[in-house]
Amino acid sequence: MKSVIISTKFKLFQNELLDVIDNFNEKGKLFDNRIRNKIKLFEFNGFTINVKSFKKPNFINKIVYRYFRKSKAKRSFEFANKLLENGIGTPQPIAFYENFDLIGLNDSYYISEHLNCDLTFRELVLQPDYPEWELILRKFTKFSYKLHQKGIEFKDHSPGNTLIKKNENNDYDFYLVDLNRMEFHSTMSFNMRMKNLCRLTPHKEMIAIMSNEYAKSSQESEQLIFEILWKYTSDFQNKFQRKKRLKKKFLFWK
């Protein structure tokens, strides 16, 4: 059984979109090929679409995603629309596709417009000499505060998941990607907000600038923001490095 939901403005292209899914393995330009998911680009009616194929779930998750929880493709589509409704940037959602067998979910895809960005937040982490580095970092912090004000907890708020594009007014716009892990709250506590930022950078000087800018927006104590954010950041980095060491030790043959 197949299930496909298409955004209203793309309904007329249903057959073409289904053809893209049917020929995903044979056609398209590979954009990202990770262990879990694969992304391909397709030229489509004068623009480029981004098609994300999610890893086929194991036996248990096949059942979970069929009867108890929405698939990652469906969540990505719904969360993208919800972000746009809240004035938060994300590539335009087009459709999601699910294919079920007798057991449960077999495979799924999320389709969106492809955005050619100038950089991601990762470049700010790796290239401190990037043009307008501090300006972009401060504007990104304001963007993150806007997310928190709207109660949006982006659980994959990590360096590669915010696309940054300079607009025609020489300002910067921010777009979230990899959307399947999000929660929407009426309000977010201080600690929840700080924890949401802890995966972005290991650099203390960046945390200091972000704390300063966040304090300007929130009217909260800059010192408190820095202390708590740096604590969460350090905890995350220690856990991350420990996990890497264990993986290297016990999975040395890979």
- Distance (Å, rounded) from C-alpha 174 to C-alpha 198? 18
Q: What is the pLDDT along the chain (254 residues), one digit of tens a residue?
A: 889 999 999 999 999 999 999 999 999 999 988 777 999 999 988 889 999 999 999 999 999 999 999 999 999 999 999 999 999 999 999 999 999 999 999 999 999 999 999 999 999 999 999 999 999 999 999 999 999 999 999 999 999 999 999 999 999 999 999 999 999 999 999 999 999 999 999 999 999 999 999 999 999 999 999 999 999 999 999 987 877 666 665 655 55
Task: Calculate ∠ Cα 196-155-120, nearest 5°.
Answer: 85
The length of the chain in residues reads 254
Counts for the chain of helices (H) and strands (E), in that order: 8, 11
Residue 97 vs residues 41, 48, 72, 146: alpha-carbon distances, Å: 16, 18, 10, 31
pLDDT in the model for residue 36: 79
Q: Which two tokens stand for residue 101?
A: 């067998």
What are 169's two structure tokens? 């007014």
* Nearest residue to 110 via CA among 170, 24, 182: 24
Give the residue among 32, 230, 220 at the shortest CA–CA distance from 114: 32
The pLDDT, as a whole number, for residue 242 is 78
Tokens of 212: 């300063």
Angle (CA) 128 133 138, round 5°? 125
Nearest CA-CA partner of 216 in 154, 139, 151, 132: 139
DSSP label at 64?
I
Structure confidence at residue 251 (pLDDT): 58
Q: From start to end of the chain, where are the E strands?
A: 2-6, 29-33, 37-44, 47-54, 93-100, 105-113, 119-120, 152-154, 162-166, 172-176, 182-184
Residue pair 76/180 in contact (Cβ under 8 Å)? The answer is: yes
